[in-house]
Amino acid sequence: MLARHHDPIAAIATAPGRGAVGIVRVSGRALQPFAQALLGRALQPRHAHYLPFAGDDGQPIDHGLALYFPAPHSYTGEDVLELQAHGGPVVLQLLLSRCLQVAAAGALAGLRLAEPGEFTQRAFLNDKLDLAQAEAVADLIDASTEAAARGASRSLAGAFSAEIHALLDALVHLRMLVEATLDFPEEEIDFLRKADAAGQLARLQQLLAGVLQRATQGALLREGIKVVIAGQPNAGKSSLLNALAGAELAIVTPIAGTTRDKVQQTIQIEGVPLHVIDTAGLREAGDEVERIGIERAWDEIAGADAVLFLHDLTRQHESDYASADRAIAATLQGTLPAGVPVIDVWNKSDAAPTPPPAAAPGHASIRLSALTGDGLDDLRRTLLQVAGWQAAPEGVYLARARHLQALHAVDAHLMEAAAQLHGSRQPALDLLAEELRLAQNALNGITGEFGADDLLGVIFSRFCIGK
């Protein structure tokens, strides 16, 4: 896709289906002759013109608005023509076909259909957006909660990029000092000590810690967490899913093994998406269908960000039940990756006034009733806590997993740089300079000032066609 970024492109820019308005967008260089040939008149920049969109027989396909945005004052940084018509799929396809037909007749050589994300990719290539802002376009479209949409909007406005550039400025200044010391070894002046290089590095690490904390919160807003409800049959897993979702999603009966396959619902708590999955009851099953459901339950558990281990308070004193719970707990410990939290949820508090047993080491413990809702708020707060969510300040912006990976890489390089700087009376300045260079490269990769073409291709290929 990058090799063809000089071609003029066209696409339907609105979502598939029917609507009041649909848009066909064309982007390229010097679109004035094409617009004249297509519409039969010149267009005044940035003015809406109401006119007929004629077909090849001269008859109107539709009547609508045409807008022309000359470069560089457009979304892509190129000339952009937008045709706003009635939002029917047939009408828009006819308009798009007419654009390609007029272009093929000589009005715009090389016009082709846009690939996914190509309009936004051109905005990035033409310095209208950096890469983090370009990704925020897709995040804003895909936002599943109000908080995520607000965070994506802040990223699109450049809040995240501004913090990355502040880190870069401080890092480049520190690199300059180190490189100067390397370039002039004959000078006896201790550049680094006089310029407080150690203090600059410490302040840079402190600044990075704040950015990383906010980016982690932003990644939670964007991605959410996968929460799997696990436990023995009839512990109330399906009832808990229904209570959290506020809807009857899963079938609830007194019959053990009612849930044979996973049931999933995304809910939000304080704007954070939680992908909650109800699974089959864990036990030794002779029924083949139930056995498959239990295998799938363990597969979901293995990929969870948090597990709600559901227990039945009314049966906690039954030796067979307690033994089965211990077996599940042992299997959980061997199945879950290190660091995945397990919350012991003691259900049916409405029917069992006795307190639950002591929580397992490292486990949070919640007593609740999925039937009455008592204790659900405590569970919601605990889920946010184990996910690492903090009360979202207004300045939180959306971030992606690749941004966190880059920031963690920067943190590792700066830690190694600090070790080189403080490790001996005579720092290894060449190694210190290399760590700072690698940290800068990682930061540049976030905004796209440094990045491989294949990375850009993957990012933009996940956009919709019209973006």
Please name the helix (run of DSSP H) or strand (run of DSSP E) that holds residue 371, with its range, or none. Answer: none
Cβ neighbours around 1 below 10 Å, total: 15
Strands of the sheet with 364-367, listed across from one edge: 263-269, 272-278, 225-231, 306-312, 342-347, 364-367
Q: Is 291 assigned a ligand-binding role in the annotation?
A: no
Q: Is 444 assigned a ligand-binding role in the annotation?
A: no
Q: Is 40 assigned a ligand-binding role in the annotation?
A: no
Q: Is 82 assigned a ligand-binding role in the annotation?
A: yes
Residue 182 Cα distances to 188, 190, 204, 251, angstroms: 12, 11, 21, 70
Cβ neighbours around 411 below 10 Å, total: 17
Rounded to an integer, what distance in angstroms lies between the CA atom of residue 79 and that of residue 111?
13
Comparing CA positions, the residue from 279, 278, 300, 299 lying closest to residue 290 is: 279
Q: Is 257 assigned a ligand-binding role in the annotation?
A: yes
**Helical ranges in 224-368 per DSSP H:** 237-245, 288-302, 319-335
Residues 25, 80: contact at Cβ < 8 Å?
A: yes
Q: Is 337 assigned a ligand-binding role in the annotation?
A: no
Q: Is 467 assigned a ligand-binding role in the annotation?
A: yes
Q: Is 238 assigned a ligand-binding role in the annotation?
A: yes
Preceding omega of 72 cis (within 30 degrees of 0)? yes
Residue type, position 156, single letter:
L
The beta strands (E) that lie in 339-402 are given as: 342-347, 364-367
Q: Is 255 assigned a ligand-binding role in the annotation?
A: yes
Q: Is 335 assigned a ligand-binding role in the annotation?
A: no
What is the SS3 assignment for 275?
A: strand
Residue type, position 168, single letter:
L
The HSE-up count of residue 249 (CA atoms within 13 Å, CB side) is 22
Show the tokens assigned to 21: 């308005």
Taking each continuous run of H as one helix and of E as one strand, the counts in the chain are: 15, 12
Residue 146 Cα distances to 26, 72, 141, 380, angstroms: 31, 32, 12, 18
Distance separating the N- and C-terminal Cα atoms of the chain: 14
Q: Is 350 assigned a ligand-binding role in the annotation?
A: no
Q: Is 25 assigned a ligand-binding role in the annotation?
A: yes
Q: Is 237 assigned a ligand-binding role in the annotation?
A: yes
Residues 221, 271: contact at Cβ < 8 Å?
A: yes
Q: Is 197 assigned a ligand-binding role in the annotation?
A: no
Q: Is 258 assigned a ligand-binding role in the annotation?
A: yes
Tell me how far the alpha carbon of residue 231 is from its chain's centroid.
30
Summarize the annotated binding site for Mg(2+) as residue ranges.
238, 259
Summarize the annotated binding site for GTP as residue ranges.
234-239, 253-259, 278-281
Summarize the annotated binding site for (6S)-5-formyl-5,6,7,8-tetrahydrofolate as residue ranges.
25, 82, 128, 467
Summarize the annotated binding site as residue ranges.
25, 82, 128, 234-239, 253-259, 278-281, 467
Summarize the annotated binding site for K(+) as residue ranges.
234, 253, 255, 258
